[in-house]
Each structure stands twice: as C-alpha cells, then as structure tokens.
C-alpha cells in the first residue's frame, strides 16, 4: 500500500494478520501509534516498511517477538522514546533504518546501550540512526557489531565522547557518517583497518589530531572524505596533496 495518500491510523485489523510476511505502507500520510502488542500479533513478519509517514509514539519492545524480521524501515516519522534493546533479539535482522525520528538512548546510562544489544544481530549490514537526539556515548561494544556491517550512519545525533578504537574491527564498512555531533579526541589509529571504506564523513565535530593524519593514506578505496569543521592542526598528508589537471 506504499506511495498513496492514505491518512489516519493503520487499521488495527492489519496487526491481526498472523501470516503476514511483508508490510509496506511507506510514503503515505499515516499517523497514530504502533500497538504495544505489535510483535505478538505478527510472528511471521520479515519486512517492515513504514518510512515517510507521520507515525508517532514509542517503538514497541514487543517488536522482538516478530522474530523473523530482516528489514525494519521506519525512517522519517515522529517516533519518540528510547530505542528498545529488544531489537537485539532479532537474530535475522539485516537492515535497521531509524533515520529522522525523535528516538533517544537509554536515559539511565551515558552509553548508547541499544548498540550493545545489536551486537547479537550477526547479519546486520545497514544501520541508519541519523537525525535522532540520541544524547549518548558510543560504547566500546560497538566493535562487536556484525562483521557484515557495511553502512553505519549517525549524523546529527548529539553523540558525545570519542570514537572508540574498536571502530577498526568493522572491516566490512563501506560508508561511515558520524557528522554533526559532539565527538572529541583524535581519530583512532585503527581507522586504517577499514580497508573497504569508500565514504567517510566526520565533519562538524570537535576532533583533534593527536594521531598523524597520514594513517588515512592506508584507506586505498576511500573516494569521499569530509573532515571539515573540526579542530585538526596536522599537516595534510602527501597522499592527499596530488594535483589533478583536467
């Protein structure tokens, strides 16, 4: 039912279709909340597409009871409250897109504990968190995220603290975007281990340059890099100083 002009809330009867494997209502004008019993009623759901609507309220913890979920796309809505740690129980999860909501981290912990829970999702390849007021620190446990993770984006999330050294363990990363946050400290030396990285945006933070920037020369597949609006004072590495004549 995607790409229509549906309004109002999602009919409650849809959540009783226990054999449903795909629900796609993206790109409508739907509003209202998801029922707290969401996962109990849709045990066979594999693909959930709710993006670009006006849905609000909490993301129900019971979503983990839809244990076959592979894709969750709820970007560009108005969901609020903490990101449930129960998402980590979705052992088949491949893509999680929470972009453009009002979701937060756990208020009882300075760390983004939901990231720790997602380390159990061994097939996770895409994690989009951007434009949510997460207000937290990236936990060291992020280094245990899936070895299949190719895309990690969390721009404009009010993330603070430093980029942990464990970032180098995510060796399948192709795209990394942590721009427009409150990150401090230097680039971890382990960033050189991201040999598949093609796009990196760390702009608009408060990063400094204790570690020489020449480590970036090891990223041979890097096509686009933005380090603007930080506090780097190191010289530009020779590998980035090539002149190209059109």
pLDDT tens digits, 123-169: 999 999 999 999 999 999 999 999 999 999 999 999 999 999 999 99
So what's the pLDDT on residue 245?
45
Dihedral pair phi/psi, residue 115, rounded to 5°: -65, -40
Q: Is the pLDDT of residue 60 over 80?
A: yes
Does the predicted TM-score (pTM) go above 0.75? yes
What letter would DSSP give residue 137? B
Q: Is the pLDDT of residue 230 over 50?
A: yes
Q: Please give the distance of CA 138 from its chain centroid, rounded to a whole number.
A: 12
Task: For residue range 29-38, list pLDDT tens digits in order.
Answer: 999 999 999 9
Q: Is the pLDDT of residue 246 over 50?
A: no
pLDDT band at residue 237 under the 50/70/90 scheme: confident
Cα–Cα distance between 232 and 236 in angstroms, integer?
Answer: 10
Name beta bridge partners: 47.
Answer: 22, 71
Q: Which residues have a Cβ under 8 Å from the Cβ of 34 and sit 6 or more positions away?
A: 10, 55, 57, 58, 59, 60
Strand, helix or coil for residue 113:
helix
Task: For residue range 174-206, list pLDDT tens digits in order.
Answer: 999 999 999 999 999 999 999 999 999 999 999
């Amino acid at each position: 039912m995607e790409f229509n002009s549906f309004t109002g809330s999602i009919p409650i009867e849809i959540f009783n279709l226990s054999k449903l494997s795909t629900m796609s209502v993206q790109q409508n004008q739907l509003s209202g909340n998801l029922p707290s019993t969401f996962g109990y009623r849709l045990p066979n759901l594999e693909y959930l597409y709710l993006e670009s609507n006006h849905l609000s309220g909490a993301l129900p913890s019971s979503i983990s009871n839809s244990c076959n979920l592979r894709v969750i796309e709820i970007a560009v809505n108005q969901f609020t409250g903490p990101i449930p740690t129960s998402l980590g129980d979705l052992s088949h999860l491949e893509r999680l897109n929470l972009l453009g909501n009002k979701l937060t981290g756990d208020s009882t912990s300075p760390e983004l504990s939901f990231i720790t829970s997602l380390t159990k999702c061994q097939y996770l390849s895409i994690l989009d968190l951007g434009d949510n007021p997460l207000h937290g620190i990236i936990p060291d446990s992020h280094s245990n995220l899936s070895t299949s993770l190719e895309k990690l984006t969390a721009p404009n999330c009010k993330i603070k603290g430093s980029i942990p050294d464990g970032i180098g363990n995510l060796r399948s990363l192709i795209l990394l975007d942590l721009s427009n946050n409150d990150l401090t400290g230097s680039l971890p030396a382990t960033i050189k281990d991201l040999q598949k990285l093609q796009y990196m945006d760390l702009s608009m933070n408060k990063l400094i340059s204790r570690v020489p920037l020449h480590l970036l020369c090891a990223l041979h597949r890097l096509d686009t890099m933005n380090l603007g609006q930080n506090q780097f004072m190191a010289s530009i590495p020779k590998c980035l100083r090539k002149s190209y004549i059109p």
